[in-house]
Chains A and B, each alone.
Chain A
């Protein structure tokens, strides 16, 4: 009878062959972490920037913001929190920067998780100061709105009623930026910035599709590949992919910021990981060949 205990698992290739290539299979993971940390620290302290060429998806988002009709708002749905801040923070900053550069009024809203309202607010306040943009006139924050799909369905009928009060607790009806905003159709573009799966489906299924409101998005790199079919079908007009997308947007609007700051460390960390993969696989193949030869 076969022994199914953990100790009887197939021995690792190279485990019995003590050569250089075999030892590559047994490097403690701490050394890999340490090397990665060293590369990241080196690049943050002494960055060597590699060229960044904006992709078609980023160009799509920039164009979508640039072509928002006069008098219509850009709604940035900041559905992220500190767990993805390293990617979604620079993305939110890049989208806000693009709105202000193109003189498009924007509002922030968070459907989930609630921390997004405060984190996005801090970013917007900081950037707005540089552009002398006034709260309530050039931008506003609707705050965290509980209820996800119910919020979106209520927005179809009456946006000010659904929003009620803003981030500071004042009625949104009193804000000049809300002049002329009644239903969701008065919004010129929705930009969803998120690390959560399922939010885009709600926006497209309840707002973009039935109401015809243009939709774009900025996703964490983990989830972005799943949304390329939506780009192909035209449901999403443009998309930022991870911190790289933020850096590309910063290149497009000629305003280097948080995304660019990450990209040098990111690029060199990728080079290191590629080296790990190549060396690891080479070691595996050579050790296997050696074992086969006896």
Chain B
């Protein structure tokens, strides 16, 4: 390892330990490292946006290929800064209008390809029919498996949707039935949230393991290896 690599290794180790010191209590070291991390990320974004995007796609064509009129391209973006002027704030709103309009247009374009297949997929056959030309190995077992899954899917879908009907009071015969369905839907939602929380725990543990691996194998491991090489 070169001197620079060792310095990077130590910086990463100190940063890892410093950030985890927040587990004990709020302290200036973890706060400082947090600010350094945010600053580094912002600086990295700026440099990468220039080197991998603007330089090749905007600056080079403008300067080298004679497309001088591209100098006007950032003007719309710069209009945002008029937000600080009371008199010319309307110019910033102009830029925001363009930005919102573009975002709304893209979202509208995304919406149907994104959600319509899910709506179609929610219509499940409650009495499935297999393709006679290519039946599964065990027709009866496979059939029951699909039937149970589809009925369960439809029951969960309907009860969970009924939970979100807030405009009908749970009174009277129909209202009470809706209430029972909503209660069941709430239970299903709780099961889903439990699964999500389990996954969240898994994710957080993974991140922790990643850092412990770094500390033990890369940082301390480097010195263990170094000592072993010298027969110590």
Contacts and interface: CB of A to CB of B under 8 A. Distances in A.
A11 interface: no
Contacts of B206: 86-87, 220-221, 242-243, 262, 266
B117 A234 contact: yes
A37 B17 CA distance: 13
B27 interface: no
Given A164-B56, A205-B111, A242 B209 contact: no
B164 interface: no
Interface in A228-250: 229-230, 232-235, 241-244
B203 interface: yes
A60 interface: no
B212 to A, nearest CB: 5
B57 interface: yes
A205 B117 contact: no
A204 B113 contact: yes
Which of the four size classes fits the interface of chain B? 35 or more
Nearest to A33: B23
Contacts of B203: 87, 220-222, 242
- Interface on chain B toward A: helix, strand, loop, or mixed SS? helix
Of residues B23, B202, B205, which shows the largest number of chain A Cβ atoms within 10 Å of its Cβ?
Answer: B205
Interface in B161-218: 192, 195-196, 199-203, 205-213, 216-217
A262 B54 CA distance: 39
B45 interface: yes
Most buried by A among B45, B202, B206: B206
B24 interface: yes
A167 B110 contact: no
B141 interface: no
B41 A115 contact: yes
Contact of B109 (A143, A205, A222): A205
A225 B114 CA distance: 17
A40 interface: yes
Contact of A221 (B111, B120, B200): B200
A133 B28 CA distance: 47
Interface in A134-174: 143-147, 149-150, 153, 164-165, 167, 169
Given A113-B41, A225-B195, 7 more contacts: A33-B23, A41-B216, A86-B213, A114-B45, A164-B56, A232-B121, A266-B209
A124 to B, nearest CB: 16
A204 B23 contact: no
B205 A269 contact: yes
Contacts of A229: 118, 121
Interface string B10-32: 00000000000001100000000
Interface stretch (A71-79, A97-105, A206-214): A206-214
B28 to A, nearest CB: 20
17 contacts: A30-B23, A45-B216, A85-B210, A114-B45, A115-B48, A145-B52, A146-B49, A149-B110, A165-B56, A204-B114, A206-B109, A225-B192, A243-B209, A262-B210, A265-B212, A266-B209, A269-B208
A115 B207 contact: no
Q: Which 3 A-B pairs have the closest CB atoms?
A: A86-B210, A209-B113, A205-B110
A34 B149 CA distance: 43
B207 A266 contact: no
B211 A86 contact: yes
B202 to A, nearest CB: 4
B75 interface: no
A86 B209 contact: yes
Given A45-B216, A243-B206, A269-B209, A224 B199 contact: yes
A149 B106 contact: yes
Contacts of B207: 83-84, 86-87
A200 to B, nearest CB: 9
A117 interface: yes
Contacts of A145: 52-53
Nearest to B204: A222
B51 interface: yes
B81 interface: no
A235 B210 contact: no
A282 interface: no
B222 to A, nearest CB: 15
A205 B111 CA distance: 6
A270 B202 contact: yes
